[in-house]
Amino acid sequence: MATPYTSASSHRRLPKQVKILAALIIGVLLFGVFGHVIFENQTPTGAFSSTVKTLAHVSKTGIHGEVGSQNQGFQIIMQLFGVIVIWFSIWAAFDLAVAGKFEDYFKEAKHMKKISNLKNHYIVCGAGRVGKSVGARLKQRGKNVVFIEKDKGVIDRLRSEGCLVMDVGPIDEKTLLDAGAENADGIVASLGDDSKNLLLTLTAKEINSHITVAVRINEAKLIPKFKKAGAGLLIIPEAVGGCRLADAMLGNITDDVIVGK
C-alpha cells in the first residue's frame, strides 16, 4: 500500500553495526560450510562444526597455515574472515557502547512493548497543533493515546511528558498494526494533507472495520469522499475555530478552551 507519511527513522530499528555484524557472521558460516563440503567432502553438519571450530581456533591463536594440509589456502581464507569478524565485533561493541545506541534500542523496544499491550486506545497520526490538542484532551479523559510522529523535537517533548510515541514512517498498514489499530477504539488522522489523511482513513478501516476514524480536513468539498472511505468524524479546524470564537464572544463556551483567559 502507498505510504502517506515519511520519516528517516524507524521504531525498534537495529543499529547498523549489528546488522553488518550479523551479515558478516552468516556470510562466513555459509562460506565455511560450502568450502568444507566442496574441498573436504564433509557432510553439511560436519562442515558447520568444522567452520565453528576454525573460527573459534583463530580467535585464540590467530592466522596460521596448517602444515601439510591440501586445503591450506582455504583454511587461511577462513581464518582471515574469522579475524575480520572478531575485530569488527570489538569495534562495533565499543562504538555502540560509546554512542549509547544499545541503551536506546532497548528503551525503544520497551516503549513498543507497552504500545503492543494496549487495547481500546486511541491513535493520533500527526502530533501538530491539532493532533497534540486531540491527544491531550483524550488523555485528560483517562484514555490511552499513541502518537505517531516524525519530528524529532516533537517526539522528544511528548516523551518527556510521558506520552507513548512511535518515531516511525511511513504511516502504512504495518505502522498502524504496530500501533495496535486492530484493538484500538479510534484513530485521528491529522497529517495536514487531505490526500494523506484519505489514504490513512482507507488503511485504518481496512485493518479494523469497527474503528472510529476522526479526520482533520482542509477542503469541505472532500467530505463525501472521506465519508465514503469510512471516516466517522470530520473537522475543519478553521471553521470550528471560528464557531468556537463566536461562542466565546457570546459567553457560550467553557473557560478551558479560551487561550489567555
**Same domain for 195 and 83:** no
Q: What is the CA radius of gyration of the chain?
A: 27
pLDDT tens per residue across span 169-189: 668 888 899 899 999 999 999
pLDDT-based confidence at 207, cuts 50/70/90?
very high
- Within a domain: residue 50? yes
DSSP classification of residue 17: H
Q: What is the CATH classification number for the domain harbouring 63?
A: 1.10.287.70
Q: Are residues 227 and 135 located together in one domain of the fold? A: yes
The answer to whether the Cα torsion of 129, 132, 137, 138 is positive or negative is positive
Q: Is 128 helix (H, G, I), strand (E, B) or coil?
A: coil
Shared domain for 198 and 122, answered yes or no, is yes
pLDDT of residue 50: 83
pLDDT value at residue 13: 56
For residue 236, the model assigns a pLDDT of: 84
Q: Are residues 231 and 139 in the same domain?
A: yes
pLDDT surpassing 60 at residue 123 = yes
Residues 153 and 179 grouped into a single domain: yes
- Give the contacts of 47 (CB within 8 A, at least 6 positions apart): 32, 33, 34, 35, 36, 37, 40
User: Are 217 and 89 in a shared domain?
Assistant: no
Residue 110 lies in a domain: no
- Provide the grid cell at 87: 575485530
Query: From CA 172, how far away is CA 196, in angstroms rounded?
Result: 10
Q: What is the pLDDT of residues 36-48, one digit of tens each?
A: 888 878 888 888 8
Is 250 found in the same domain as 159? Answer: yes
Q: Measure the CA–CA gap between 217 and 210, rounded to whole angstroms.
A: 21
User: Is 4 part of a structural domain of the chain?
Assistant: no
The domain that contains 175 carries what CATH number? 3.40.50.720
Q: How far is CA 256 from CA 70, 127, 243, 253, in A?
A: 84, 20, 16, 9
Pairing of strands 233-235, 145-149: unpaired
Dmax over Cα atoms in the chain, in whole Å?
99
Same domain, 71 and 188: no
Q: State the Cα–Cα distance between residues 171 and 225, nearest whole angstrom.
A: 20
Q: What is the pLDDT of residues 74-94, one digit of tens each?
A: 777 877 877 787 777 777 777
pLDDT of residue 186: 94
Residues 93 and 215 both lie in one domain: no
Whether 228 shows a pLDDT value over 70: the answer reads yes
**Whether 55 and 134 share a structural domain:** no
The total number of structural domains in the chain stands at 2
Flag whether pLDDT at 217 surpasses 60: yes
Domain of residue 179: give its range. 118-257
